[in-house]
Amino acid sequence: MEANIEMFEAQVHILKHAYNYVNSMVLATAIQLNIPDIIHTHGKPITIPDLVSALKIPPQKSNAVYRIMRLLTHNGFFDSTKLNEEEEEDGYVLTASSRLLLKSQVPNLSPFALFTVDPVMLAPWKVLGDWFSRNEESSAFETAHGAPMWEFCDTNSRFNNVFNEAMASDSQMMRLVAKDCGQVFEGLSTLVDVGGGTGTITKLILEAFPSLKCTVLDLPHVAAKQQDCQNLRFLGGDMFHSIPSADAIMLKHIMHNWSDEDCLKILKKCREAISEDNKNDGVKKGKVIIIDMVLGAEKDNEAEDITELKLMFDVLMMVLHSGKERTEKEWERLFIQSGFTHHKITPIFGLRSLIEVFP
């Protein structure tokens, strides 16, 4: 009997992971239907009939709406509550997670959640097994689409917009970083945000430090679509060739896209870019600010879920690019090899850590 129980538990384990895509797709459907915003606007627990009415969908779809709400509630995106003791009907309310999906609020992670299930993002997973036996492509993304991701973005304006909106939505969380870790930016006169896209992060930092002079460096096709404003300019270029001089060079979610060899090249360019006039006794006193994942830096009470997600991101970077997530020792090895003397890791952003690297 115990052996049979173990086998059935193993079956459940397999099926749970095999069907994990159901959770992703149902979440994307809820965002597409605008369910979080409808519940928010309703202002009180909403019943299925009221939700169906607000969705403007055929009444015969009521049971389908109930079933996706039941799964989403089980997964923590909504809570259900009895409206009164006489009626058995439930009303649905938002949770902390669904409040982060409100399109009318900031931060709003809906674009990032939809980006993850975009057909362009899903295609590489279907050819991952084939990619392992091929020598031509550096990533499964290239196997699926015939070009590395950055080249594909350059030629596919629809996906490029989806990607930039997703990254901008994720960067809105930086408002919390600027608020809680303001000391990281104190004393700086100039900052370069490498790979900063539409400048969401830099603008949030400027709200807290308006006198800071900032440059966003990104690929020419990205920078060309942006508008300079006070203390913020956009510059098209290539971080592997040159990075503008500044007191601090910032890299958010950049390094995990690249191999160790490429990261060394980037870090060496960052070290060269730290302002020459920011010296004390001939030693550069600026820094590189990295916001990225550090494997093994989880807090004990968060370890299981966060470790799993970090490992998922590690494989994701392999599939999309040729990058990886790194342990502190792997980060330290890169810093030493690129000529930096010391670093400080602050693991306070859930998945991500803030890493300050000093020359």
User: Are 2-100 and 173-358 equal in CATH topology?
Assistant: no
Active site residues: 256
Structure tokens at 110: 């809906």
Q: State how beta strands 232-236 and 326-327 pair.
A: unpaired
**pLDDT tier for residue 192 given thresholds of 50, 70 and 90:** very high
Q: Cα dist. 215→70, 231, 339 in Å?
A: 46, 8, 24
Q: Which residues contact 349 (CB under 8 A, 6 or more apart)?
A: 173, 176, 177, 291
Q: Where are the domains of the chain?
A: 2-100, 113-165, 173-358
Check whether domain 2-100 has CATH 1.10.10.10, yes or no: yes
Amino acid in the structure at residue 53: S
- Cβ(235)–Cβ(255) under 8 Å? no
- Cβ(108)–Cβ(120) under 8 Å? no
Question: pTM for the full model?
Answer: 0.87
Q: What's the pLDDT score for residue 229? A: 87
The more confidently predicted of residues 95 and 199 is 95
Q: Cα dist. 176→108, 172, 179, 196, 229 in Å?
A: 13, 8, 5, 17, 23
User: Which range is most confident: 63-67, 101-105, 161-165, 343-347?
Assistant: 63-67
What CATH number does the domain located at 173-358 have? Answer: 3.40.50.150
**pLDDT tier for residue 185 given thresholds of 50, 70 and 90:** confident
Residue 248 has pLDDT above 60, yes or no: yes
pLDDT tens for 112-139 read: 999 999 999 999 999 999 999 988 788 9
DSSP string, 71-108: HHHHTTSEEEEES-SS---EEEEE-HHHHTT-TTSSS-
